[in-house]
């Protein structure tokens, strides 16, 4: 790792804060590009954090110096209510696409005719399966990010795009014809890596939330989130593939300064943009086909989804000469790869009981090779999915791996169905030795097993607790947990922390030597240092993911306080919905769960939030109920609501005798009248701020 030690040094005492601020921003930007875009870190994390903290501190002391392109300002502004629809100043065209090689030849013929048989080269890209984006830079700074929309107008999602770590908020300056390139539009695809998609979906599954079908849907869903802070939790990537100049200098017509697609990509790369990978300049159609063929199979090894190759005429002058017909440029074309399919026999449909008790039907398949892996199982989601597809045990089914990463059963070969076959009926029992009934919750597609002693649930809970993102206990992965549970050494989470008493039994198990046992016990001991938030997340309460656990820990401060909270109290916390509040209250009602938290406390796990719990601070508004009405002078209503809740107050929708304060702004209507009628104290925004200041 090449160190930038001279830059990491403490500030020169003569340096005025503004110079240091500029210097820090430059270093951090360069380090970000090296880390995120080039995957070549040039600084270690600790140094980076130190510089970042120094910048935060300097900016806090000099608030006038904060600029939107500062690395500290990726998340900014208030959650959006809706996105503004804005016209593209140059339409975002589609591509003609085909699955047919002859049509690629036709495309080449049309290009040659359009160029009156002049020689031409092609630039080949992978076709990223994501969401197209237009980024506008003015004066070197990211000014606006628009979705493609209908090609003519798109949504302004600048706030969300700013949070993508590889998107430069300010570019590294490069010269074009001796003039700095500062005003331009970049287009590219926002996408999510397969591994990140699978991990996020696993987390959602663990929380009992609906799964995303594929990385593209998850990307699109993420970009449309209204709160940019949420976007930061989902790792999005950008791959750029297009540059257009808005302005260069008064003498040069912008588009004429650009020579070729290959040059444009080089310029973008130099400015610090993350580029589409594996692109290639091809001299003729044969080389284009070689590119297409090579990536048809190699794409299976890529960490992201591609659904084809994009072939572009390399020369920008030739692109302009060819122009566009309707929605399609005549200089570019997409060749799409077929979704990989295979046929196999569905031997049986089994049930998998998750840690929250959901019973997921799984297709047990005769093993079949598909797009680089052997598939022997695939999820059938739920009873509705099976019914809609009318898939039956013994059927020959089609397995597909398209842009979805996860193989799926996409169809049934009806002609090969056995005449005696019967439609599948969802079992009424779970199938394990305890033969527990399965129940369908009204309004949900899933069937549940409610048996607390269910072995699958127990294992699911243990696995979740020990996993890397939770308590991070190395040595207790799925297989070890299965083995220890089977041997009767693990039933509850608390048993993990009693394993050291059973060292002899552990050593008696197959594949458990002294070293392995000691490492595992040491990892268990070490996990006791995990903060309260992780312990809370690890309990596996439905809908309580890491973020929710953080909110709860921050608000209530201790496990005891959380236990005592009613569903009403829980749902009045900002960020906790009614469904989650209900699930938490319900979880703490169970005697078994109460015993578990007591045992974990006695075993030395963190039961207290290490920071200052907000609910613990006695503020003048703690526990008081507010109703907000009218237009406040400086705050939006949501902001006032968040502020009140953060200080321990509650916000209700209607005025009643239980209301303590009505916070009224301009043009307050009936709620103000009601307050006066009931004698409820009416306060202004200024009064509220004065109360907070106390
Ligand atoms: S070039 C006028 N290059 O495919 C040409 N597009 O079907 C503009 N896409 O809307 C597009 N990877 O979202 C281009 N390397 C790539 C691409 C790519 C993915 C998407 C893009 C476009 C769609 C057209």
**Residues 153 and 193 occupy one common structural domain:** yes
Position 679 in a domain: yes
In b/e form, how buried is each residue of 145-166, taking b as 16+ CB within 10 angstroms?
bbbbbeeebbbbbbbbbbbbbb
**Residues 201 and 119 occupy one common structural domain:** yes
Position 88 in a domain: no
**Residues 148 and 245 occupy one common structural domain:** yes
**Residues 583 and 633 occupy one common structural domain:** no
Position 306 in a domain: yes
**Residues 193 and 252 occupy one common structural domain:** yes
C-alpha distances out from residue 180 to 69, 137, 491, Å? 18, 13, 66
**Rounded CA separation 239/130 (Å):** 10
| Token reading at 485 | 């549970």
Domain termination residue (choose one: 336, 363, 384)? 336
Which ligand 1 atom sits nearest the alpha carbon of residue 276?
Answer: 15
Position 578 in a domain: yes
Position 82 in a domain: no
**Residues 253 and 294 occupy one common structural domain:** yes
**Residues 327 and 256 occupy one common structural domain:** yes
Residues of the chain with pLDDT under 70: 1-15, 76-81, 206-209, 250-255, 403, 612-619, 646, 694
Which ligand 1 atom sits nearest the alpha carbon of residue 94?
Answer: 24
**Residues 475 and 563 occupy one common structural domain:** no
For residue 545, the enclosing domain spans 533-602
Residue of 241, 280, 332 with the most ligand 1 atoms within 8 Å of its CB, for mutation? 241
**Residues 126 and 150 occupy one common structural domain:** yes
Residue 1: per-residue pLDDT = 44
Q: At 251, is the secondary structure helix, strand, or coil?
A: coil
- Is there a catalytic annotation at residue 127? yes
Domain termination residue (choose one: 602, 636, 653)? 602
**Residues 131 and 209 occupy one common structural domain:** yes
- Which of these, 652, 651, 662, lies nearest to 629 by C-alpha position? 662
**Rounded CA separation 498/490 (Å):** 9
Domain count across the chain: 6
Residue 193: per-residue pLDDT = 95
Position 446 in a domain: no
Residue 9: per-residue pLDDT = 54
CATH code of the domain in which 200 resides: 3.30.470.30
Which ligand 1 atom sits nearest the alpha carbon of residue 126?
Answer: 15
Q: Exposed (0-12), middle (13-18) or buried (19+): which is 142, by Cβ within 10 Å?
A: buried
- Which of these, 241, 218, 76, 84, lies nearest to 160 by C-alpha position? 76
What's the gap in Å between 127 CA and the centre of ligand 1?
A: 6
- Which of these, 680, 615, 620, lies nearest to 654 by C-alpha position? 680
**Residues 565 and 661 occupy one common structural domain:** no
What's the gap in Å between 305 CA and the centre of ligand 1?
A: 14
Position 83 in a domain: no
* H or E element in which residue 316 lies: helix 316-322
Distance of CA 105 to the CA centre of its chain: 40
**Residues 542 and 471 occupy one common structural domain:** no
Asked if 346 and 421 touch (Cβ cutoff 8 Å), the reply is no
**Rounded CA separation 470/468 (Å):** 5
Domain termination residue (choose one: 506, 530, 554)? 530
Residue 8: per-residue pLDDT = 53
* Residue bearing the CA closest to ligand 1, atom 9: 127
**Ligand 1 pocket: which residues have CB below 6 Å?**
93-95, 97, 125, 127-128, 132, 148, 189, 241-242, 276, 310, 329, 332, 334
CATH code of the domain in which 504 resides: 1.10.150.20
Residue 204: per-residue pLDDT = 78
Residue of 88, 95, 126, 262 with the most ligand 1 atoms within 8 Å of its CB, for mutation? 95
Asked if 325 and 95 touch (Cβ cutoff 8 Å), the reply is no
What's the gap in Å between 38 CA and the centre of ligand 1?
A: 22
* 429 DSSP assignment: B
* Residue bearing the CA closest to ligand 1, atom 2: 93
CATH code of the domain in which 664 resides: 3.40.50.10190
**Rounded CA separation 21/67 (Å):** 11
**Rounded CA separation 309/404 (Å):** 18
Position 445 in a domain: no
Residue of 126, 127, 135, 314 with the most ligand 1 atoms within 8 Å of its CB, for mutation? 127
What's the gap in Å between 334 CA and the centre of ligand 1?
A: 8
Which ligand 1 atom sits nearest the alpha carbon of residue 93?
Answer: 2
In b/e form, how buried is each residue of 240-279, taking b as 16+ CB within 10 angstroms?
bbbbbbeebeeeeebeebbebbebbbebbeebbbbbbebb
* Residue bearing the CA closest to ligand 1, atom 16: 127
Residues 83, 71, 230: CA angle, nearest 5 degrees: 40
Q: Select which of 81, 127, 408, 534 is catalytic.
A: 127
Q: Sign of the C-alpha dihedral, residues 424, 427, 430, 435?
A: negative
Q: At 126, is the secondary structure helix, strand, or coil?
A: strand
Q: Which residues pair with 361 in a beta bridge?
A: 351
Residue of 324, 334, 336 with the most ligand 1 atoms within 8 Å of its CB, for mutation? 334
Asked if 312 and 125 touch (Cβ cutoff 8 Å), the reply is yes
- The set of residues, in sequence order, having a beta carbon less than 8 Å from that of 619 and lying 6+ positions away, is 647, 648, 649, 691, 692, 694
What's the gap in Å between 326 CA and the centre of ligand 1?
A: 16
**Rounded CA separation 665/671 (Å):** 11
What's the gap in Å between 637 CA and the centre of ligand 1?
A: 41
Asked if 487 and 499 touch (Cβ cutoff 8 Å), the reply is no
What's the gap in Å between 516 CA and the centre of ligand 1?
A: 51
């Amino acid at each position: 790792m090449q160190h930038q030690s001279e830059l990491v040094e403490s500030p020169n005492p003569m340096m005025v804060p503004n110079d240091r601020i500029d210097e820090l921003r430059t270093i951090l930007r360069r380090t970000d590009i090296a880390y995120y875009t080039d995957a070549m870190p040039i600084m270690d994390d600790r140094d980076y954090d130190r510089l970042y903290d120094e910048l935060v501190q300097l900016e806090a002391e000099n608030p006038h110096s904060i600029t939107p392109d500062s690395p500290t300002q990726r998340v900014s502004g208030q959650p959006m209510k809706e996105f503004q629809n804005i016209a593209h100043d140059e339409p975002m065209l589609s591509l003609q696409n085909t699955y047919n090689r002859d049509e690629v030849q036709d495309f080449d013929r049309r290009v040659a005719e359009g160029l009156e048989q002049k020689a031409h080269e092609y630039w080949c890209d992978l076709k990223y399966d994501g969401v197209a984006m237009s980024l506008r830079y003015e004066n070197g700074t990211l000014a606006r990010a628009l979705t493609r929309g209908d090609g003519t107008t798109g949504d302004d999602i600048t706030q969300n795009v700013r949070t993508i770590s590889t998107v430069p908020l300010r570019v590294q300056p490069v010269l074009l014809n001796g003039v700095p390139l500062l005003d331009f539009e970049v287009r590219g695809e926002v996408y999510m890596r397969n591994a990140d998609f699978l991990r996020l979906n696993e987390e959602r599954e663990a929380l009992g939330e609906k799964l995303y079908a594929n990385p593209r849907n998850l990307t699109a869903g993420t970009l449309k989130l209204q709160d940019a802070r949420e976007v930061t939790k989902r790792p999005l990537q950008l791959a750029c593939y297009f540059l257009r100049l808005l302005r260069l200098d008064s003498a040069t017509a912008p588009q004429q300064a650009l020579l070729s697609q290959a040059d444009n990509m080089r310029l973008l790369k130099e400015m610090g943009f993350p580029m589409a990978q594996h692109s290639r300049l091809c001299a003729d159609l044969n080389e284009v086909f070689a590119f297409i063929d090579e990536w048809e199979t190699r794409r299976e090894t890529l960490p992201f989804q591609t659904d084809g190759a994009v072939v572009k005429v390399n020369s920008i002058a030739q692109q302009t000469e060819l122009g566009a017909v309707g929605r399609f440029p005549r200089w570019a074309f997409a060749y799409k790869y077929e979704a990989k399919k295979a046929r196999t026999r569905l031997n049986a449909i089994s049930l998998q009981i998750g840690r929250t008790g959901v019973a997921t039907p799984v297709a047990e398949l005769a093993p079949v090779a598909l797009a680089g892996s052997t598939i022997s199982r695939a999820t059938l989601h739920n009873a509705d999915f099976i019914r809609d597809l009318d898939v039956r045990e013994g059927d020959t089914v089609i397995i597909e791996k398209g842009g979805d990463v996860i193989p799926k059963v996409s169809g049934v070969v009806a002609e090969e169905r056995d005449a005696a076959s019967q439609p599948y009926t969802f079992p009424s029992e779970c199938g394990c030795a305890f033969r527990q009934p399965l129940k369908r919750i009204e309004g949900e597609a899933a069937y549940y097993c409610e048996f607390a002693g269910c072995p699958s649930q127990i294992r699911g809970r243990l696995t979740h607790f020990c996993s890397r993102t939770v308590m991070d206990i190395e040595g207790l992965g799925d297989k070890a947990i299965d083995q220890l549970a089977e041997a009767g050494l693990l039933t509850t989470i608390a048993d993990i922390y009693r394993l050291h008493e059973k060292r002899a039994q552990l050593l008696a198990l197959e594949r458990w030597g002294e070293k392995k046992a000691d490492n595992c016990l040491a990892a268990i001991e070490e996990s006791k240092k995990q903060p309260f938030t992780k312990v809370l997340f690890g309990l596996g309460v439905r809908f309580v993911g890491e973020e929710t656990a953080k909110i709860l820990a921050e608000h209530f401060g201790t496990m005891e306080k959380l236990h005592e909270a009613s569903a009403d109290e829980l749902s009045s916390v900002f960020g906790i919905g009614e469904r989650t509040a209900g699930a938490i209250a319900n979880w703490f009602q169970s005697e078994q769960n109460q015993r578990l938290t007591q045992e974990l406390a006695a075993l030395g796990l963190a039961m207290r939030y290490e920071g200052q719990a907000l609910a613990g601070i006695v503020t003048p508004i703690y526990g008081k109920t507010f109703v907000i009405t009218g237009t406040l002078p400086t705050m939006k209503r949501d902001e006032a609501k968040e502020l009140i809740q953060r200080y321990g107050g509650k916000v209700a929708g209607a005025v009643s005798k239980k209301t303590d304060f009505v916070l009224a702004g301009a043009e307050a209507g009936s709620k103000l009248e009601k307050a006066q009628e009931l004698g409820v104290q009416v306060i202004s925004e200024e009064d509220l701020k004065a109360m907070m200041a106390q």
